[in-house]
Structure 1
Amino acid sequence: MHVTELLKDWPCTVTGGRPRVQVTGVTERAANVGEGFLFVARKGKRQDGASYIEEAIQKGAVAIVVDRPSLSELPLNVPIITVPDCRKFLSYASARLAGNPSERLTVVAVTGTNGKTTVTHFIGQLLQGLGIRCAVIGTIGIFIEGRRMEYDCPEMTTLPAEYLHPLLAYCESRGVTHVILEASSIGLANSRLAHCEIDVGLLLNIGQDHYEEHGGREAYIAAKGRLLHQAHAIIVNQDDTQCRQMADASERPTLYFGAAAMLGYSTDLILQKLAIPGHYNRLNAIAAASALIALGYTVDDVADQISMLALPEGRLQRLEQDGVQVFIDYAHTPDALEAVLQTLSTICYGKLITVFGCGGERDKGKRAEMGELAVRYSSLVFITTDNPRNEDPVRIVRDIKEGFGGDCSTVEAVLDRKDAIRQAIFRAAPGDIVLIAGKGHEKYQQTATGVLPFSDVAEAEWALSEKTYEGKVEGGSR
């Protein structure tokens, strides 16, 4: 479409150049600019898009979008479009140029501190069981009818709008009618979903995560709350006090679910058919069932599919050999870690051994709490690195240890995560359970020297294969 057509419903001013040009795409990443693109020169936390304007023009940008009046008079040979907010314009333009696919799809968005990935995949599995062609988009990738799809986009919980709307159009072209996506607090705060039509929004819980990235707890809660004002109907966890307060502030029609009831129905029929352990997974299943009831399905429809539910990759993922069970889980918040530890403690007849760390440059306040929880539930704890990023791993470990007063006879600090996993598994005997928490599905580790390949699952598999038992010697080096 022409620039003038795209801009006719958006507040802006245009200076310089010839505005009546064809637009083929929009991006805020200079590397993605193609012939006929709009380049959105947004200022981020680490980089300023204004520094890439010349590069974007050389690659074919036909106009530059800014939200700083000081840039509107740059001597360029293309139009400069000044808008009130670059993020919201990027969302709007991405949806328009993709043909507004969310208007024709049924979209369910799930937010909450914990459980987003599990609930979105549960919803997808339930819909698929009922014959609905659906897509699930979130932390562990893009899935259509349960099969992971290769698609050129960043690995992010909630995709930036310039990737999301073309992806929705792609899903529509593949016959998808329902899309279930994870709505992260960062994604909501950055307006990535601002022009995505959301039919049902789920609020699962509010815990401690991403406070520092948002500038505090209240800003984090406000970001989550955006979904409650955007979705046409909302479903809220009535067992979470903060969630109820947020629902009270929303003007949208609100439905509630909880441990005892979902949208006015008893949960008994659902839970008696669920084969997945853990109270928190019971609540995740209830949340997913509530979404389908909100979409018009009956409790009987949903109950018939509950027994088929399976956890997604990296969520209580189980390995077992010679009586030693290893569980890999993405739990990286205090609430999530405690939920997993509680679940495993009820099925563990030997020692519960925990391997975990905390991410660098993220929410230092949760470290001590997670340390205290790990010690409370575990016979032995290995504190190690998670994604330290540019923070000193020794400092992170020290923060974690504050949760139990420093040194403890049942705690060992092993900074090399591979070594920590191996030591934990080698120390386990038949009947013991090893929990490896924090990274789940991730296939990398973010360190000061760069992003390195790393998989908790792969390392655990190797350790189990190399483990030596009395009367048995197997394995080898790699």
Structure 2
Amino acid sequence: MKAPRPAHVTPSSVAELASVVAAGLQVEKTSLTPDARVVTGATLRAQDVRPGDLFAALPGARAHGADFADQAAAAGAVALLTDEEGSRRAVAAGVALPTLVHPDPRAAIGPAAARVYGDPSKLLRVLGITGTSGKTTTCYLIDGGLRAAGVSTGLVGTVETRVAGERLNSAFTTPEAPDLQALFALMVERGVGHVSMEVSSHALSLGRVGGTEFAVGGFTNLSQDHLDFHRDLEDYFAAKARLFDGRARHEVVCVDGGWGARLVTPDTITVATGADAEASWSVRDARALPTGEQTFVALGPDGVRLDLRIRLPGPFNIANALLAAACLHADGIPADAIAAGLSAVDVPGRMERVVEGQPFVAMVDYSHKPGAVAAVLDAARAQTEGRVLVVLGCGGERDTGKRPAMGEEAARRADLLVVTDDNPRGEDPTSIRSAMLTGALAVPRAQRGEIVEIGDRRAAITEAVARARPGDILVVAGKGHETGQHVGEIVLPFSDRDVLAEAVRARETEENR
């Protein structure tokens, strides 16, 4: 399925785009001048080219996009954007299209696509959130505040993309640059005024948000993740920090951790939840309610006071909500709309409860990083006087270093840890579980709960449900909102929410016979 695009685009000339991206322009054996060539779309995938497109032929690890330039031309591409090597390959293949030659075409495609689609982010107020954990929740909270203010909204993130209430599936946390600019243009066309969006480290490193103007940039936190892509934590942080290089009019940063403090400038709006922290926004009188809800007072600049209630448990969700409130306030959203909007938000797959009349709490959560697992289980522990049970796996072909750490964090906090498969992809799932168990079993026996290994995820969830007692909390972690399990080259239908609900219903039926 091709990415959505606006119905109407004002054409741009190739020469105009060359000027925008400061690219050299080559014309090989074409009867039309660059000024006569008009561009009405952009893509970096040859199979998605539509007539009138600029095709960005990018160098890759396994192939060069220019090797597909003939396919793009046959589909109707009117110009190429590539590097010197790509230009040579296109010419050798007999592709006679005007070619914008840039030393870093990936960095150039964002600004080029933005111009193609009329610089749509200038017509929107885009609130972007980056960080390791909390991006999705914070964006949903921001979206709730915006809608409570009567604004037509867009949302771009891991769970879904929404355009004025219409839901679209998400392929990436942050779409590729041409798709993102087309999406923004579609939002403008449909009357959207504000957009909350997750901004991943991949997006910042790979230029996906190039050409995007942000009204607000927000930072949640940083902990180990994506070290299969980034060299180390410093490289990971440097990618996140790009959102705060001046591209956002307002910068809002949570300084609860040391990483956030490194982003602070004299103009930064700071957020902190610690009792003694000094920040633009702080928290007072936080209370966890038996329902899993929380209340707290948010104190902001110039005497602003917000009495907030959120449906989400855990101290980390107070931090997410405070960051959302600060971002909304920076964007001029009234206090009453902020309070009303945040109070109505549920986030798919983020400490999401499954209620089937059972005498224990069952929930699914997307936590798939050591810090996130620890935070979720700490929140679960604070909610109950019973036991904490967790079903947890790790994804294949991803950061291998976090597997023992995830096992360790879960073992230290859970009374029962069921180690299972997540998305093994092309890896041997046994080796993934073994790495988790190495970390879990390294915790001294007196400091950990029972550890069970069940590879089949459905069977693991069913076993955990069977072991739950009244008053316990069971967390099925790692996949959250996902509806498929990646095994080898295929994606099997699998929803933690659905499987957990089925297991709970089956248990309740059996006990009521």
- TM-score normalised to the size of structure 2? 0.86
Instruction: Tell me the equivalent position of 1:255.
Output: 269
Instruction: Tell me the equivalent position of 2:350.
Output: 315
SS of the residue corresponding to residue 262 of structure 2 reads helix
Instruction: Say which of 90, 94, 97 aligns to 2:116.
Output: 97
Measure the CA separation in 2 of the matches of 1:339 and 1:264.
Answer: 22
Deviates more, 1:458-467 or 1:265-274: 265-274
Q: How does 1:24-103 map to 2 (within 5 A)?
A: 24-69=40-85, 71-72=87-88, 73-74=91-92, 75-103=94-122
Instruction: Tell me the equivalent position of 1:240.
Output: 257
Aligned residue type for 1:135: G
Measure the CA separation in 1 of the matches of 2:149 and 2:451.
Answer: 48
**TM-superposition CA deviations, 1:406-438 (whole Å, max 9, x none):** 697711111111111111112222222211000
Q: Does 1:419 align with 2:459?
A: yes
Measure the CA separation in 1 of the matches of 2:124 and 2:510.
Answer: 58
Q: 1:226 to 1:471 in 2, by over 3 A?
A: closer
- TM-score normalised to the size of structure 1? 0.92
1:102 shift after superposition: 0.4
Between Structure 1 and Structure 2, how many residues are aligned? 466
Measure the CA separation in 1 of the matches of 2:271 and 2:465.
Answer: 39
Q: 1:309 to 1:71 in 2, by over 3 A?
A: same
Aligned residue type for 1:236: V
**TM-superposition CA deviations, 1:9-57 (whole Å, max 9, x none):** 3322214133331222211101111222222111223443122122112
Q: Does 1:2 align with 2:42?
A: no
SS of the residue corresponding to residue 332 of structure 1 reads coil
Measure the CA separation in 2 of the matches of 1:264 and 1:381.
Answer: 37
Matched-pair contact (CA < 8 Å) for 2:418–2:451: yes
**TM-superposition CA deviations, 1:163-214 (whole Å, max 9, x none):** 1111111111222111111000001111111110111100110111102212
SS of the residue corresponding to residue 312 of structure 1 reads coil
Deviates more, 1:80-89 or 1:382-391: 80-89
Instruction: Tell me the equivalent position of 1:162.
Output: 178
Measure the CA separation in 2 of the matches of 1:265 and 1:349.
Answer: 29
Instruction: Give the percent of matched residue pairs that are identical in Structure 1 and Structure 2.
Output: 35
Q: 1:131 to 1:44 in 2, by over 3 A?
A: same
Q: Does 1:438 align with 2:474?
A: no
Matched-pair contact (CA < 8 Å) for 2:359–2:471: yes
SS of the residue corresponding to residue 132 of structure 1 reads coil
Q: Does 1:357 align with 2:357?
A: no
Measure the CA separation in 2 of the matches of 1:461 and 1:336.
Answer: 23
Measure the CA separation in 2 of the matches of 1:262 and 1:221.
Answer: 21
SS of the residue corresponding to residue 346 of structure 1 reads helix
Measure the CA separation in 1 of the matches of 2:190 and 2:86.
Answer: 44
Matched-pair contact (CA < 8 Å) for 1:262–1:287: no
Aligned residue type for 1:444: G
Instruction: Tell me the equivalent position of 1:135.
Output: 154
**TM-superposition CA deviations, 1:81-117 (whole Å, max 9, x none):** 3112111221112111111110011111000000000
Matched-pair contact (CA < 8 Å) for 1:228–1:247: no
**TM-superposition CA deviations, 1:294-324 (whole Å, max 9, x none):** 1124545533544x23231001110133203
Matched-pair contact (CA < 8 Å) for 2:204–2:240: yes
Q: 1:22 to 1:340 in 2, by over 3 A?
A: same
1:70 shift after superposition: 6.2
Measure the CA separation in 2 of the matches of 1:70 and 1:24.
Answer: 22
Measure the CA separation in 1 of the matches of 2:441 and 2:167.
Answer: 47
Measure the CA separation in 2 of the matches of 1:421 and 1:265.
Answer: 39
**TM-superposition CA deviations, 1:219-263 (whole Å, max 9, x none):** 211110100112122111121111111335xxx831101115763
Instruction: Tell me the equivalent position of 1:476.
Output: none
SS of the residue corresponding to residue 361 of structure 1 reads coil
Matched-pair contact (CA < 8 Å) for 2:110–2:209: yes
Measure the CA separation in 2 of the matches of 1:266 and 1:463.
Answer: 39
Q: Does 1:150 align with 2:188?
A: no
Q: How does 1:294-305 map to 2 (within 5 A)?
A: 294-297=330-333, 299=335, 302-305=338-341
